[in-house]
A and B are shown apart, each in its own frame.
Chain A
Protein backbone atom coordinates (compact mmCIF):
# COMPACT_ATOMS: atom_id res chain seq x y z
CA UNK A 1 0.00 0.00 0.00
CA UNK A 2 1.98 2.96 -1.30
CA UNK A 3 2.11 6.35 0.35
CA UNK A 4 -0.49 8.62 -1.16
CA UNK A 5 -0.19 12.39 -1.45
CA UNK A 6 -3.07 14.43 -0.14
CA UNK A 7 -5.67 15.26 -2.75
CA UNK A 8 -8.87 15.68 -0.78
CA UNK A 9 -9.01 16.95 2.76
CA UNK A 10 -11.25 15.40 5.36
CA UNK A 11 -13.19 17.72 7.64
CA UNK A 12 -10.67 17.62 10.51
CA UNK A 13 -7.81 18.23 8.05
CA UNK A 14 -9.66 21.16 6.56
CA UNK A 15 -10.17 22.73 9.97
CA UNK A 16 -6.53 22.30 10.86
CA UNK A 17 -5.53 24.28 7.78
CA UNK A 18 -8.29 26.78 8.44
CA UNK A 19 -7.10 27.35 11.98
CA UNK A 20 -3.69 28.38 10.71
CA UNK A 21 -4.86 30.77 8.00
CA UNK A 22 -4.74 33.92 10.06
CA UNK A 23 -2.22 33.10 12.73
CA UNK A 24 0.28 30.61 13.99
CA UNK A 25 -1.08 28.17 16.54
CA UNK A 26 0.05 25.26 18.68
CA UNK A 27 -1.70 21.89 18.84
CA UNK A 28 -3.93 22.74 21.80
CA UNK A 29 -5.01 25.99 20.15
CA UNK A 30 -5.84 24.17 16.94
CA UNK A 31 -8.05 21.73 18.83
CA UNK A 32 -9.70 24.56 20.70
CA UNK A 33 -10.25 26.55 17.52
CA UNK A 34 -11.85 23.58 15.76
CA UNK A 35 -14.10 22.90 18.69
CA UNK A 36 -15.19 26.55 18.96
CA UNK A 37 -15.67 27.13 15.25
CA UNK A 38 -17.73 24.03 14.67
CA UNK A 39 -19.50 24.24 18.04
CA UNK A 40 -18.32 20.74 18.86
CA UNK A 41 -19.54 19.24 15.59
CA UNK A 42 -16.02 18.27 14.51
CA UNK A 43 -14.00 16.52 17.19
CA UNK A 44 -10.27 16.50 16.77
CA UNK A 45 -8.72 13.77 18.89
CA UNK A 46 -5.13 14.37 19.94
CA UNK A 47 -3.93 11.24 18.13
CA UNK A 48 -5.57 12.33 14.92
CA UNK A 49 -4.22 15.86 15.31
CA UNK A 50 -0.65 14.60 15.69
CA UNK A 51 -1.05 12.45 12.60
CA UNK A 52 -2.47 15.33 10.58
CA UNK A 53 0.28 17.71 11.69
CA UNK A 54 2.95 15.15 10.83
CA UNK A 55 1.39 14.46 7.44
CA UNK A 56 1.03 18.18 6.69
CA UNK A 57 4.65 18.77 7.62
CA UNK A 58 5.72 15.89 5.43
CA UNK A 59 3.71 17.36 2.54
CA UNK A 60 5.09 20.82 3.39
CA UNK A 61 1.63 22.29 3.87
CA UNK A 62 2.61 23.65 7.28
CA UNK A 63 5.88 24.26 9.06
CA UNK A 64 7.02 24.44 12.62
CA UNK A 65 7.93 27.95 13.70
CA UNK A 66 8.79 27.71 17.37
CA UNK A 67 9.36 25.22 20.13
CA UNK A 68 8.90 26.52 23.65
CA UNK A 69 9.23 23.74 26.17
CA UNK A 70 6.56 21.24 25.23
CA UNK A 71 4.72 23.68 22.99
CA UNK A 72 5.24 23.58 19.23
CA UNK A 73 3.80 26.27 17.03
CA UNK A 74 2.90 25.83 13.37
CA UNK A 75 2.16 28.11 10.46
CA UNK A 76 0.67 27.44 7.07
CA UNK A 77 2.89 27.54 3.97
CA UNK A 78 2.03 28.84 0.51
CA UNK A 79 1.52 25.28 -0.58
CA UNK A 80 -0.89 24.81 2.31
CA UNK A 81 -2.83 27.92 1.35
CA UNK A 82 -3.08 26.71 -2.22
CA UNK A 83 -4.46 23.37 -1.09
CA UNK A 84 -6.86 25.16 1.25
CA UNK A 85 -8.14 27.33 -1.63
CA UNK A 86 -8.46 24.31 -3.85
CA UNK A 87 -10.44 22.46 -1.18
CA UNK A 88 -12.63 25.49 -0.52
CA UNK A 89 -13.38 25.72 -4.25
CA UNK A 90 -14.24 22.03 -4.33
CA UNK A 91 -16.58 22.43 -1.37
CA UNK A 92 -18.21 25.48 -2.99
CA UNK A 93 -18.83 23.48 -6.14
CA UNK A 94 -20.34 20.67 -4.06
CA UNK A 95 -22.66 23.12 -2.32
CA UNK A 96 -23.60 24.81 -5.62
CA UNK A 97 -24.36 21.45 -7.21
CA UNK A 98 -26.44 20.45 -4.23
CA UNK A 99 -28.42 23.69 -4.28
CA UNK A 100 -29.06 23.54 -8.02
CA UNK A 101 -30.21 19.93 -7.85
CA UNK A 102 -32.43 20.74 -4.85
CA UNK A 103 -34.11 23.63 -6.67
CA UNK A 104 -34.72 21.49 -9.74
CA UNK A 105 -36.32 18.91 -7.52
CA UNK A 106 -38.60 21.48 -5.88
CA UNK A 107 -39.62 22.90 -9.29
CA UNK A 108 -40.48 19.43 -10.52
CA UNK A 109 -42.89 19.11 -7.61
CA UNK A 110 -44.37 22.57 -8.35
CA UNK A 111 -43.26 23.84 -4.96
CA UNK A 112 -41.86 27.35 -4.41
CA UNK A 113 -38.09 27.56 -4.22
CA UNK A 114 -36.52 27.81 -0.78
CA UNK A 115 -33.28 29.46 0.14
CA UNK A 116 -30.39 27.04 -0.26
CA UNK A 117 -32.39 24.78 -2.52
CA UNK A 118 -33.30 22.39 0.26
CA UNK A 119 -35.95 19.95 -0.91
Chain B
Protein backbone atom coordinates (compact mmCIF):
# COMPACT_ATOMS: atom_id res chain seq x y z
CA UNK B 1 0.00 0.00 0.00
CA UNK B 2 2.82 2.36 0.92
CA UNK B 3 4.52 1.58 -2.36
CA UNK B 4 1.36 2.36 -4.29
CA UNK B 5 0.93 5.64 -2.45
CA UNK B 6 4.58 6.50 -3.10
CA UNK B 7 4.19 5.69 -6.78
CA UNK B 8 1.05 7.81 -6.98
CA UNK B 9 2.74 10.69 -5.19
CA UNK B 10 5.70 10.58 -7.55
CA UNK B 11 3.56 10.10 -10.63
CA UNK B 12 1.17 12.91 -9.85
CA UNK B 13 3.46 15.38 -8.14
CA UNK B 14 7.15 14.72 -7.42
CA UNK B 15 8.25 13.54 -10.86
CA UNK B 16 6.42 16.34 -12.66
CA UNK B 17 8.37 19.33 -13.87
CA UNK B 18 7.65 22.13 -11.44
CA UNK B 19 8.51 24.89 -13.89
CA UNK B 20 8.78 25.64 -17.58
CA UNK B 21 11.21 23.74 -19.75
CA UNK B 22 13.41 26.83 -20.19
CA UNK B 23 13.68 27.67 -16.51
CA UNK B 24 17.19 26.24 -16.23
CA UNK B 25 17.92 27.18 -12.59
CA UNK B 26 14.48 25.93 -11.54
CA UNK B 27 14.99 22.60 -13.33
CA UNK B 28 18.47 22.11 -11.89
CA UNK B 29 17.12 22.79 -8.41
CA UNK B 30 14.26 20.33 -8.94
CA UNK B 31 16.59 17.55 -10.17
CA UNK B 32 18.84 18.03 -7.15
CA UNK B 33 15.88 17.84 -4.77
CA UNK B 34 14.70 14.70 -6.55
CA UNK B 35 18.14 13.12 -6.06
CA UNK B 36 17.99 13.96 -2.38
CA UNK B 37 14.63 12.14 -2.26
CA UNK B 38 16.21 9.08 -3.86
CA UNK B 39 14.74 9.63 -7.31
CA UNK B 40 17.49 8.76 -9.77
CA UNK B 41 17.18 10.42 -13.17
CA UNK B 42 17.28 7.86 -15.99
CA UNK B 43 15.79 9.67 -18.93
CA UNK B 44 14.27 13.12 -19.03
CA UNK B 45 11.56 13.35 -16.35
CA UNK B 46 11.79 9.59 -15.85
CA UNK B 47 13.10 8.52 -12.48
CA UNK B 48 13.94 5.26 -10.79
CA UNK B 49 13.93 4.52 -7.09
CA UNK B 50 17.45 4.70 -5.68
CA UNK B 51 19.53 5.80 -2.77
CA UNK B 52 19.13 9.43 -1.70
CA UNK B 53 22.27 11.33 -2.62
CA UNK B 54 23.66 14.81 -2.93
CA UNK B 55 24.13 15.52 -6.63
CA UNK B 56 24.66 18.60 -8.66
CA UNK B 57 22.93 18.99 -12.00
CA UNK B 58 23.79 21.26 -14.87
CA UNK B 59 21.62 21.84 -17.93
CA UNK B 60 23.61 22.90 -20.92
CA UNK B 61 22.00 24.25 -24.10
CA UNK B 62 22.57 21.78 -26.91
CA UNK B 63 24.49 23.16 -29.86
CA UNK B 64 23.16 22.88 -33.40
CA UNK B 65 22.91 19.22 -34.43
CA UNK B 66 24.33 18.15 -31.06
CA UNK B 67 22.12 15.17 -30.36
CA UNK B 68 24.62 13.55 -28.03
CA UNK B 69 27.79 15.02 -26.53
CA UNK B 70 30.97 14.21 -28.43
CA UNK B 71 33.53 11.78 -27.01
CA UNK B 72 35.89 14.67 -26.46
CA UNK B 73 33.30 16.53 -24.46
CA UNK B 74 32.39 13.45 -22.46
CA UNK B 75 36.03 12.93 -21.53
CA UNK B 76 36.66 16.59 -20.65
CA UNK B 77 33.54 16.84 -18.56
CA UNK B 78 34.30 13.52 -16.87
CA UNK B 79 37.71 14.85 -15.92
CA UNK B 80 35.92 17.76 -14.27
CA UNK B 81 33.66 15.33 -12.39
CA UNK B 82 30.54 15.41 -14.57
CA UNK B 83 28.69 12.56 -16.26
CA UNK B 84 26.18 12.84 -19.06
CA UNK B 85 22.64 11.69 -18.17
CA UNK B 86 20.19 12.54 -20.95
CA UNK B 87 18.65 15.26 -23.08
CA UNK B 88 15.59 17.19 -22.07
CA UNK B 89 12.34 16.73 -23.97
CA UNK B 90 12.74 18.19 -27.44
CA UNK B 91 16.52 18.08 -27.08
CA UNK B 92 16.94 21.68 -25.95
CA UNK B 93 19.38 20.85 -23.16
CA UNK B 94 21.95 18.23 -22.27
CA UNK B 95 21.71 17.15 -18.65
CA UNK B 96 24.92 16.61 -16.71
CA UNK B 97 25.23 15.23 -13.21
CA UNK B 98 28.06 15.30 -10.73
CA UNK B 99 28.19 13.17 -7.62
CA UNK B 100 31.54 14.61 -6.65
CA UNK B 101 31.37 16.75 -3.51
CA UNK B 102 33.42 19.53 -5.09
CA UNK B 103 33.22 19.32 -8.88
CA UNK B 104 34.79 21.87 -11.19
CA UNK B 105 31.87 24.10 -12.19
CA UNK B 106 30.90 23.56 -15.81
CA UNK B 107 29.89 27.17 -16.25
CA UNK B 108 32.13 29.89 -14.93
CA UNK B 109 31.51 32.93 -17.09
CA UNK B 110 27.85 34.00 -17.42
CA UNK B 111 28.56 36.39 -20.30
CA UNK B 112 30.37 33.75 -22.32
CA UNK B 113 27.75 31.18 -21.33
CA UNK B 114 25.02 33.37 -22.77
CA UNK B 115 26.42 32.70 -26.25
CA UNK B 116 25.53 29.04 -25.80
CA UNK B 117 21.88 30.12 -25.79
CA UNK B 118 22.02 31.81 -29.21
CA UNK B 119 21.09 28.68 -31.09
CA UNK B 120 18.39 27.77 -28.55
CA UNK B 121 16.90 31.24 -28.91
CA UNK B 122 16.76 30.99 -32.69
CA UNK B 123 15.24 27.53 -32.40
CA UNK B 124 12.65 28.81 -29.97
CA UNK B 125 11.67 31.66 -32.28
CA UNK B 126 11.34 29.23 -35.16
CA UNK B 127 9.14 27.02 -33.01
CA UNK B 128 6.92 29.99 -32.16
CA UNK B 129 6.70 30.94 -35.80
CA UNK B 130 5.67 27.37 -36.67
CA UNK B 131 2.93 27.41 -34.03
CA UNK B 132 1.70 30.72 -35.34
CA UNK B 133 1.71 29.36 -38.89
CA UNK B 134 -0.18 26.29 -37.67
CA UNK B 135 -2.86 28.38 -35.99
CA UNK B 136 -3.17 30.65 -39.01
CA UNK B 137 -3.35 27.56 -41.22
CA UNK B 138 -6.09 26.03 -39.10
CA UNK B 139 -8.02 29.28 -39.16
CA UNK B 140 -7.58 29.37 -42.94
CA UNK B 141 -8.88 25.82 -43.33
CA UNK B 142 -11.85 26.63 -41.10
CA UNK B 143 -12.56 29.75 -43.15
CA UNK B 144 -12.24 27.81 -46.40
CA UNK B 145 -14.61 25.11 -45.16
CA UNK B 146 -17.04 27.71 -43.95
CA UNK B 147 -17.08 29.20 -47.41
CA UNK B 148 -17.07 25.96 -49.41
CA UNK B 149 -18.45 23.06 -47.41
CA UNK B 150 -22.17 22.89 -47.84
CA UNK B 151 -22.68 21.17 -44.47
CA UNK B 152 -19.83 22.62 -42.46
CA UNK B 153 -21.84 24.28 -39.67
CA UNK B 154 -24.40 21.52 -39.63
CA UNK B 155 -21.73 18.86 -39.20
CA UNK B 156 -20.07 20.75 -36.39
CA UNK B 157 -23.30 21.32 -34.55
CA UNK B 158 -24.43 17.74 -34.97
CA UNK B 159 -21.13 16.38 -33.71
CA UNK B 160 -20.52 18.69 -30.79
CA UNK B 161 -22.17 21.46 -28.93
CA UNK B 162 -20.83 24.72 -30.26
CA UNK B 163 -20.24 26.09 -26.79
CA UNK B 164 -18.03 23.12 -25.93
CA UNK B 165 -16.26 23.44 -29.25
CA UNK B 166 -15.44 27.05 -28.49
CA UNK B 167 -14.32 26.19 -24.95
CA UNK B 168 -12.17 23.37 -26.27
CA UNK B 169 -10.52 25.56 -28.90
CA UNK B 170 -9.98 28.32 -26.36
CA UNK B 171 -8.36 25.86 -23.95
CA UNK B 172 -6.06 24.39 -26.59
CA UNK B 173 -5.02 27.76 -28.01
CA UNK B 174 -4.73 29.24 -24.53
CA UNK B 175 -2.50 26.40 -23.41
CA UNK B 176 -0.25 26.75 -26.45
CA UNK B 177 -0.04 30.51 -25.96
CA UNK B 178 0.68 30.13 -22.24
CA UNK B 179 3.47 27.60 -22.73
CA UNK B 180 5.06 29.56 -25.58
CA UNK B 181 4.97 32.95 -23.93
CA UNK B 182 6.01 31.57 -20.58
CA UNK B 183 9.00 29.93 -22.30
CA UNK B 184 9.78 33.11 -24.19
CA UNK B 185 9.72 35.17 -21.01
CA UNK B 186 11.90 32.74 -19.08
CA UNK B 187 14.43 32.37 -21.85
CA UNK B 188 14.70 36.13 -22.37
CA UNK B 189 15.18 36.69 -18.66
CA UNK B 190 17.81 33.98 -18.50
CA UNK B 191 19.74 35.35 -21.48
CA UNK B 192 19.58 38.94 -20.27
CA UNK B 193 20.76 37.90 -16.87
CA UNK B 194 23.69 35.99 -18.35
CA UNK B 195 24.58 38.76 -20.80
CA UNK B 196 24.78 41.13 -17.84
CA UNK B 197 27.30 38.75 -16.28
CA UNK B 198 24.97 37.57 -13.53
CA UNK B 199 24.03 33.92 -13.23
CA UNK B 200 20.29 33.56 -12.94
CA UNK B 201 19.33 32.85 -9.38
CA UNK B 202 17.83 29.54 -8.41
CA UNK B 203 14.23 29.73 -7.54
CA UNK B 204 12.08 27.30 -5.70
CA UNK B 205 9.63 25.40 -7.81
CA UNK B 206 6.45 27.18 -8.64
CA UNK B 207 3.28 25.42 -7.63
CA UNK B 208 0.95 26.34 -10.53
CA UNK B 209 2.72 24.17 -13.10
CA UNK B 210 2.32 21.00 -11.13
CA UNK B 211 -1.11 21.96 -9.87
CA UNK B 212 -2.38 22.40 -13.41
CA UNK B 213 -1.00 18.98 -14.29
CA UNK B 214 -2.53 17.43 -11.20
CA UNK B 215 -5.92 18.94 -11.95
CA UNK B 216 -5.74 17.74 -15.54
CA UNK B 217 -4.56 14.27 -14.51
CA UNK B 218 -7.36 13.85 -11.98
CA UNK B 219 -10.01 16.01 -13.60
CA UNK B 220 -10.17 14.43 -17.03
CA UNK B 221 -10.73 10.82 -15.82
CA UNK B 222 -13.16 12.15 -13.23
CA UNK B 223 -15.08 14.05 -15.88
CA UNK B 224 -15.17 11.01 -18.18
CA UNK B 225 -16.27 8.75 -15.33
CA UNK B 226 -19.02 11.17 -14.39
CA UNK B 227 -20.08 11.30 -18.02
CA UNK B 228 -20.36 7.52 -18.07
CA UNK B 229 -22.20 7.44 -14.77
CA UNK B 230 -24.56 10.18 -15.79
CA UNK B 231 -27.20 7.63 -16.86
CA UNK B 232 -27.23 6.25 -13.37
CA UNK B 233 -30.58 7.21 -12.05
CA UNK B 234 -32.70 8.42 -14.88
CA UNK B 235 -35.64 10.44 -13.85
CA UNK B 236 -38.77 9.31 -15.67
CA UNK B 237 -41.38 11.84 -16.53
CA UNK B 238 -44.58 11.56 -18.47
CA UNK B 239 -44.63 12.98 -21.91
CA UNK B 240 -47.30 15.45 -20.86
CA UNK B 241 -45.31 16.60 -17.87
CA UNK B 242 -42.07 16.99 -19.72
CA UNK B 243 -41.03 20.60 -19.51
CA UNK B 244 -38.78 20.40 -22.51
CA UNK B 245 -40.51 22.21 -25.35
CA UNK B 246 -41.84 20.06 -28.12
CA UNK B 247 -44.49 19.98 -30.76
CA UNK B 248 -46.83 17.28 -29.54
CA UNK B 249 -47.55 14.40 -31.81
CA UNK B 250 -51.24 14.77 -31.20
CA UNK B 251 -51.16 18.25 -32.63
CA UNK B 252 -49.64 16.89 -35.80
CA UNK B 253 -52.23 14.19 -36.19
CA UNK B 254 -50.28 11.26 -34.77
CA UNK B 255 -50.54 9.20 -31.61
CA UNK B 256 -48.23 8.95 -28.65
CA UNK B 257 -49.45 5.71 -27.16
CA UNK B 258 -46.75 3.89 -25.23
CA UNK B 259 -44.40 6.79 -25.47
CA UNK B 260 -42.13 7.42 -22.53
CA UNK B 261 -39.71 10.22 -22.13
CA UNK B 262 -36.68 9.79 -19.93
CA UNK B 263 -34.83 12.82 -18.79
CA UNK B 264 -31.34 12.24 -17.56
CA UNK B 265 -29.58 14.84 -15.51
CA UNK B 266 -25.83 14.58 -15.87
CA UNK B 267 -23.24 15.24 -13.20
CA UNK B 268 -22.50 18.64 -14.64
CA UNK B 269 -26.13 19.66 -14.57
CA UNK B 270 -26.90 19.19 -18.24
CA UNK B 271 -30.24 17.59 -19.00
CA UNK B 272 -30.55 15.14 -21.84
CA UNK B 273 -33.93 14.04 -23.02
CA UNK B 274 -34.27 10.57 -24.42
CA UNK B 275 -37.51 9.47 -26.01
CA UNK B 276 -38.34 5.79 -25.66
CA UNK B 277 -41.24 3.72 -26.87
CA UNK B 278 -42.47 1.87 -29.89
CA UNK B 279 -40.15 2.43 -32.77
CA UNK B 280 -43.06 3.20 -35.02
CA UNK B 281 -43.88 6.20 -32.99
CA UNK B 282 -40.69 7.48 -31.54
CA UNK B 283 -37.41 8.34 -33.04
CA UNK B 284 -34.90 7.28 -30.48
CA UNK B 285 -31.93 9.42 -29.66
CA UNK B 286 -28.98 7.19 -30.34
CA UNK B 287 -27.31 8.33 -27.18
CA UNK B 288 -25.32 11.14 -28.68
CA UNK B 289 -26.19 13.30 -25.75
CA UNK B 290 -23.64 15.94 -26.60
CA UNK B 291 -25.61 17.16 -29.59
CA UNK B 292 -27.49 20.40 -29.52
CA UNK B 293 -30.51 18.21 -29.65
CA UNK B 294 -33.35 19.45 -27.55
CA UNK B 295 -36.36 17.33 -28.23
CA UNK B 296 -37.63 14.59 -30.47
CA UNK B 297 -41.21 13.47 -30.31
CA UNK B 298 -42.91 10.67 -32.13
CA UNK B 299 -42.32 10.54 -35.80
CA UNK B 300 -41.35 14.18 -35.88
CA UNK B 301 -37.64 14.55 -35.94
CA UNK B 302 -37.45 17.90 -34.38
CA UNK B 303 -34.10 19.46 -33.75
CA UNK B 304 -33.30 22.82 -32.29
CA UNK B 305 -29.90 24.31 -32.85
CA UNK B 306 -28.59 26.93 -30.49
CA UNK B 307 -25.47 28.33 -32.12
CA UNK B 308 -23.04 29.67 -29.55
CA UNK B 309 -22.86 32.78 -31.68
CA UNK B 310 -26.37 33.75 -32.85
CA UNK B 311 -24.75 35.31 -35.92
CA UNK B 312 -24.13 31.74 -37.13
CA UNK B 313 -27.85 30.96 -37.22
CA UNK B 314 -28.19 32.62 -40.65
CA UNK B 315 -25.44 30.57 -42.32
CA UNK B 316 -26.73 27.44 -40.59
CA UNK B 317 -30.25 27.98 -41.88
CA UNK B 318 -28.87 28.60 -45.37
CA UNK B 319 -27.01 25.29 -45.18
CA UNK B 320 -30.22 23.53 -44.19
CA UNK B 321 -32.39 25.21 -46.81
CA UNK B 322 -29.96 25.31 -49.72
CA UNK B 323 -28.03 22.09 -49.23
CA UNK B 324 -29.34 19.68 -46.66
CA UNK B 325 -33.08 19.70 -47.41
CA UNK B 326 -32.72 19.58 -51.25
CA UNK B 327 -30.26 16.68 -50.91
CA UNK B 328 -32.44 14.78 -48.45
CA UNK B 329 -35.82 15.59 -49.94
CA UNK B 330 -34.88 15.82 -53.57
CA UNK B 331 -36.69 19.12 -54.01
CA UNK B 332 -35.62 22.71 -53.42
CA UNK B 333 -37.05 24.27 -50.27
CA UNK B 334 -39.59 27.03 -50.70
CA UNK B 335 -39.52 30.18 -48.62
CA UNK B 336 -42.44 30.65 -46.27
CA UNK B 337 -43.92 34.04 -45.66
CA UNK B 338 -44.74 34.06 -41.98
CA UNK B 339 -44.59 36.36 -38.98
CA UNK B 340 -43.81 33.49 -36.64
CA UNK B 341 -40.18 33.21 -37.74
CA UNK B 342 -37.45 35.49 -39.05
CA UNK B 343 -36.91 33.07 -41.97
CA UNK B 344 -38.63 29.79 -42.75
CA UNK B 345 -38.29 27.13 -45.47
CA UNK B 346 -40.52 24.17 -46.28
CA UNK B 347 -40.76 21.25 -48.64
CA UNK B 348 -42.99 18.20 -48.85
CA UNK B 349 -41.41 15.31 -50.64
CA UNK B 350 -43.54 12.17 -51.02
CA UNK B 351 -45.22 12.69 -47.67
CA UNK B 352 -42.03 13.58 -45.84
CA UNK B 353 -42.15 17.16 -44.69
CA UNK B 354 -39.04 19.21 -44.11
CA UNK B 355 -39.22 22.47 -42.25
CA UNK B 356 -36.35 24.77 -41.28
CA UNK B 357 -36.75 28.12 -39.60
CA UNK B 358 -34.81 30.73 -37.67
CA UNK B 359 -35.87 33.07 -34.93
CA UNK B 360 -33.81 35.19 -32.52
CA UNK B 361 -30.57 33.41 -33.35
CA UNK B 362 -32.03 29.93 -32.94
CA UNK B 363 -32.69 27.41 -35.66
CA UNK B 364 -35.39 24.75 -35.75
CA UNK B 365 -35.38 21.85 -38.16
CA UNK B 366 -38.20 19.29 -38.51
CA UNK B 367 -38.46 16.23 -40.66
CA UNK B 368 -41.69 14.40 -40.28
CA UNK B 369 -44.18 12.04 -41.81
CA UNK B 370 -46.91 13.53 -39.65
CA UNK B 371 -50.24 13.53 -41.46
CA UNK B 372 -50.97 17.20 -40.91
CA UNK B 373 -49.31 20.00 -42.82
CA UNK B 374 -46.62 21.64 -40.71
CA UNK B 375 -47.47 25.00 -42.25
CA UNK B 376 -50.75 24.90 -40.32
CA UNK B 377 -48.85 24.61 -37.04
CA UNK B 378 -46.30 27.38 -37.36
CA UNK B 379 -47.29 29.09 -34.08
CA UNK B 380 -46.78 25.82 -32.18
CA UNK B 381 -43.41 25.32 -33.82
CA UNK B 382 -42.48 28.91 -33.00
CA UNK B 383 -43.40 28.20 -29.38
CA UNK B 384 -40.77 25.45 -29.35
CA UNK B 385 -38.08 28.03 -30.05
CA UNK B 386 -39.57 30.50 -27.62
CA UNK B 387 -39.54 27.95 -24.81
CA UNK B 388 -36.08 26.67 -25.48
CA UNK B 389 -33.55 27.46 -22.77
Contacts and interface: CB of A to CB of B under 8 A. Distances in A.
A14 to B, nearest CB: 10
B129 interface: no
B113 A48 contact: yes
A45 B71 contact: no
A48 B108 CA distance: 6
Interface in A21-60: 27-28, 43-48, 50-52, 54-55
A46 B76 contact: yes
A119 interface: no
A51 B116 contact: yes
- Among A10, A27, A48, chain B packs the most CB atoms within 10 A around the CB of A48
B191 interface: yes
B76 A45 contact: no
Given A46-B80, A51-B116, A54-B63, A1 B106 contact: no
Contacts of B105: 43, 45
A72 interface: yes
B75 interface: yes
Contacts of B188: 1
B60 interface: yes
Given A10-B197, A47-B107, A54-B63, A72 B72 contact: yes
Contact of B73 (A12, A13, A48, A50): A50
A54 B119 CA distance: 12
B171 interface: no
Interface in A75-93: none
A45 B108 contact: yes
Given A45-B104, A48-B106, A70-B75, A55 B112 contact: yes
Interface size band for A? 20 to 34
Interface string B169-197: 00000000000000000001001100101
Contact of B112 (A1, A28, A52, A72): A52
B72 A47 contact: no
- Among A43, A46, A70, chain B packs the most CB atoms within 10 A around the CB of A46
A1 to B, nearest CB: 5
Interface in B73-89: 73, 75-77, 79-80, 82
Contacts of B112: 10, 12-13, 48, 51-52, 55
B111 interface: yes
B57 to A, nearest CB: 13
B104 A46 contact: yes
B278 interface: no
Interface in A54-74: 54-55, 70-72
Contacts of A12: 108-109, 112
Contacts of B107: 45, 47-48
A47 B60 CA distance: 8
Q: Sorted from nearest, which 8 A-B pairs have the closest CB atoms?
A: A47-B106, A45-B108, A70-B72, A51-B116, A12-B109, A55-B115, A45-B105, A46-B76
Interface of A: 1, 3-4, 10-13, 27-28, 43-48, 50-52, 54-55, 70-72
24 contacts: A1-B191, A4-B195, A10-B111, A12-B108, A12-B109, A27-B72, A28-B79, A43-B104, A43-B105, A45-B80, A45-B106, A45-B109, A46-B76, A46-B104, A47-B106, A47-B113, A48-B108, A50-B73, A50-B76, A51-B115, A51-B116, A54-B115, A55-B112, A70-B72
Given A54-B63, A70-B70, 15 more contacts: A1-B188, A1-B191, A13-B109, A27-B76, A43-B105, A43-B108, A46-B76, A46-B104, A48-B108, A50-B76, A51-B113, A51-B115, A54-B116, A55-B115, A71-B72
